[in-house]
Structure 1
Amino acid sequence: MLDTTSTATIILLAAATALLLAAMLYPSTLLRWLQRKRYQYEVTFSLYMLTPTEKFIFNSFLFLFLSMIIIAASLYLPEHVAGIANRAFYYWAGDDSGDVAASSSSKALRSAVTSMMRGPPAQDPLRGQGGGFMEP
């Protein structure tokens, strides 16, 4: 029996092969679809009335902006979601600092949820997930 990673790999390779085969058998259909998408993009952003240099400048700025958004989301979104989950857990479970039995179980549950959301603990307090640095 195959594990899930092997199964997913086989499915992705089969899908890529099917797309490649379709592109090889019907190149004009794929080319027409790509031309239509390019036309829709140019009409949507009114690029059809710009010179090639202006189109290049616009596309460069758009690419840089989208790249920065994707990088920022991948670096900082997991930490933000973990913070929101911690707040939601606090609102759901409350602060049981007065009750010793409830406090120990609540702290254990809170630490388990926090460790599950944040992953392995960082060595330096300034280096958390989404801290923006790369490990050496």
Structure 2
Amino acid sequence: MNVLCSPDRQECTLINFYNNTSFWGCNNVISINMDHPSILSDVWKISVENTPLTLEDVEIIRLRILIDNSVVVVYVNEKQYATVRVYLGLEDGKGVFICSGRGESELISLDFWQVKNIWDLT
């Protein structure tokens, strides 16, 4: 899943789930790829944030992704999480793109809420 994407994907943060692999020495990993999170040249960029996951043999993955301005938090099955900070340089970097890279995936549901800024007094 790509989040905080500009329409031309010049800025984009990629969230991956790796299942039953030996990625980083773990069977299951949630990975936030930060190769193109910002066009700003003065922003320090980490390339990848990886979090090993402890999952049952057959367990549906439930991701809860919270984005609050520059913070992206990915909760996995309400047990574990990964978090990164993103500094967008483009005003239109608010898109979401969902795809499956390998194997079979099923999107069971997708909910989206946009909350109001508590600092906006108008």
Give TM-score scaled by structure 1 length.
Answer: 0.18
Structure with larger RCO (C-alpha < 8 A, sep 6+): 2
Q: Name the one with the larger helix percent.
A: 1
Structure with a larger share of its residues in strand: 2
Asked which structure has the greater CA Rg, the reply is 1
